[in-house]
Structure 1
């Protein structure tokens, strides 16, 4: 099991700034299917199965059975369908929808509910989180019913469900805050329980490199030197370089350059700042130097990325 470097996740938490939005409480029976279209960049889907069984289907992937106690996170908001266990059935039963504030309650008509799902989205509010999201797999599944996860997760799941069921004052806000805590627990569990192949996750898994990465993510524009980063990590320059090369295959300052380019690419796609401003934010003295580095990294000029973002897609 991988240990997270000294409270690296707590250091990342303010930068992640995840805002959950609970959309639907689904109580389905018989034949049913819930289609979810792709979400824009910076948004993820999550589903919490609180009762019964269901099937997750994603284009190009095998169907995945899920059951009560499972939590699904699709970090990149990819298209998928949640449906009943009977894959041979075709037509879905009619569904009654009623709103309670911004929350929708969906119930199959004419049958007893066999499954209950809490469905929502996570909205990532600032750029650095994309570094974490890009390092995650397309799908995270936590089987909370299995020990020892149930000890940690079950109280949160019960709290979310009870708040939504009782519909007392402030229930939705409380439920969404609990969902935010749930996401951080999911991320921690993934980092601790997996053997990540991504350099960023490996860097976060070691105390020395985690402290240096957090410092760079908090202030990517700063003119960091190797001495600065070694001081933050409480390590010698040689030790820090060896740790970075072992975990990510690059020395610290090269990782910083890649970090800045990743943030710049996100800004090009999501912000209205000029190319000159984004180049400066990425730590480049001139737009030309920024453009050349961006081309080497991504095989395309930053101006082209901006144009593709602004151009409407095909109908």
Structure 2
């Protein structure tokens, strides 16, 4: 029987208290990309409807590890000297305690993974205060804290000391079955702005948030149809670090004129697969891998923007 794609996402590291920031690491240990749109995390209240929304983590590639932390994302990144390619979601408020539970729910509110821990509740198990814990291969996907090891500098996970001395290895896990290096390319394309309807032209903005040029020949966009190759983005060619490019239903010249943009701004016009009030924006690379996704709709997600 095939394993559901959601079952590829696993809790692989956590630290409930530390000067470098409480955090949880999730890793895609399978061979397929997974969108975390609509997924949530919660502690021992185990309520997906009240949990912390993970949608901003977007699509998680095979082998990729992503991080949730209670502190500011960029502060955490600096504490562990993580490159810009490591996805970090900061500011969660349902904090972990010494004895607690980590619950991961998918978009259908189904439990995907759980870790119940507490060194007092389960004598002889680790206490992740000022050092993280990581899961063994045997313990992956099991709710068994006895299968977890306390991090030390230079251990099998390659743990390093954070700015405040807390050993951990956030953003990478040896539990991954597919190699993934978030820092290898340096170029990272993300969906950064959109308007689904307006007199100045519906548009989507993509930005290279990485630190190296990115060749997007063969890349494509699709809406909720999720058709790889639907709208070809090859005309952007090379996108420089910090550069933003535009996809619009208007002509490129009309869009530039409407927004006062110079000729140097890359605009692909004539988009025919238009966005609706409730829709998706999907970005694919030249191999058809899902790179980023935004699922939106003010009616579907009350309180969000229109």
Tell me the TM-score normalized by structure 2.
Answer: 0.28
Greater share of residues in strand:
2
- Rg larger in structure: 1
The structure whose RCO (Cα within 8 Å, separation 6+) is larger is 1
Greater share of residues in helix:
1
Tell me the TM-score normalized by structure 1.
Answer: 0.28
